[in-house]
Copies of this chain bind each other. A is one copy, B any other.
Amino acid sequence: MAQPIHRDTRGVFIIAATPFDQTGAIDWNSLDRLVDLYAQTGVTGLTILGMMGEADKLTADERRAVIDRVLARTDLPVVVGISDPGLGNLADLGRHAMDKGAAGLMVTPDRGPARDDRVEGYIHAVAAALGPDAPLVFQDFPLATGVPVSARLIRQLSEALPQMVMLKHEDWPGLTKISALRAQERDGAVARLSILCGNGGLYLPQELARGADGAMTGFAYPEALVQTVDLHHAGQPDAAEDLFDLYLPLLRHEQQPGWGLALRKQILMRRGAIACAATRAPGPRLTPTDIAELDRLIARLEQRLQR
């Protein structure tokens, strides 16, 4: 069983897709191969059942089965997304995940009015329902949730809840927020928070320079994120960004909200990891034009990589 995430965790947690066949059923063999592909790219860990994992289109039983399958397949640490309109269902899923060896649980305050006290109360209720031993990732993604959260409130939660060890940062624009969070830690009075960045990785070099610990996003070339983060941590920020910039045209293309999921699955199918690129309805579907456009961007990437 992998080590739990903690306040110094760094690296790349790749957000995993959930593969389906043409009928919409979960394709378990593809899920195995996908986990293997991710592991081969050198990622630090996986995050499953996030938005990109189409978790809200899975039944409770399917979510459990995905957890079981992935945790049986890999020794990497696995963070499990458990956001749910009902706190009871959220807690049930979280306990199941921890029992099976998850490294942490991810939650976003995506319901109810966007008041700071409501968000604070909700995350406290989540933590109470899950108990102090379940490491938590707070997902800050206002573009998707409609709930903006201040750096101040994130810190308050991080201080009040020792188990809230990690921030999935994907506010946008959000670079100054990373700086603000790190400035809060400067005098040592507060506990460090691990910060992994989402938002498709679009600003990853800048985020690392401002103090982020890595990435937690779903780019279909995880090795690019891994190398960018590794080079940065090795003290070579320019080499990190040179490498990153090679992938940027495709990364920017994938980062399109909602639609990008279909692009990522198409690439994962091309890479042999999954048998079918379909998303569950009402998810996006690619036209021949969309696929040709993507193929062209991939060809351009491959040419750049060969140089």
Contacts and interface: CB of A to CB of B under 8 A. Distances in A.
A281 B92 CA distance: 13
A175 B153 CA distance: 25
Contacts of A125: 281-282
Nearest to A300: B241
Contact of A88 (B24, B150, B253): B24
Interface string A144-165: 0000111111000000000000
Given A260-B173, A289-B210, A281 B149 contact: no
Contact of A176 (B57, B111, B152, B290): B290
A11 to B, nearest CB: 23
B117 A150 contact: yes
A293 B117 contact: no
Contact of A86 (B56, B151, B290): B56
Interface string A49-72: 000001011111100000000000
A45 to B, nearest CB: 26
A57 B88 contact: yes
Main secondary structure of the interface of A (DSSP, over half): helix
Given A209-B293, A210-B293, 11 more contacts: A57-B87, A57-B89, A59-B59, A115-B149, A117-B151, A118-B150, A129-B281, A172-B257, A173-B256, A175-B259, A238-B300
List the 8 shortest-distance A-B pairs measured between CB atoms, nearest first.
Answer: A57-B86, A173-B256, A87-B281, A56-B85, A117-B150, A116-B116, A173-B259, A115-B150
Interface of A: 24, 54, 56-61, 85-89, 111-118, 122, 125, 129, 142, 148-153, 172-173, 175-176, 179, 202-203, 206, 209-210, 238, 241, 245, 248-249, 252-253, 256-260, 280-282, 287, 289-290, 293, 300
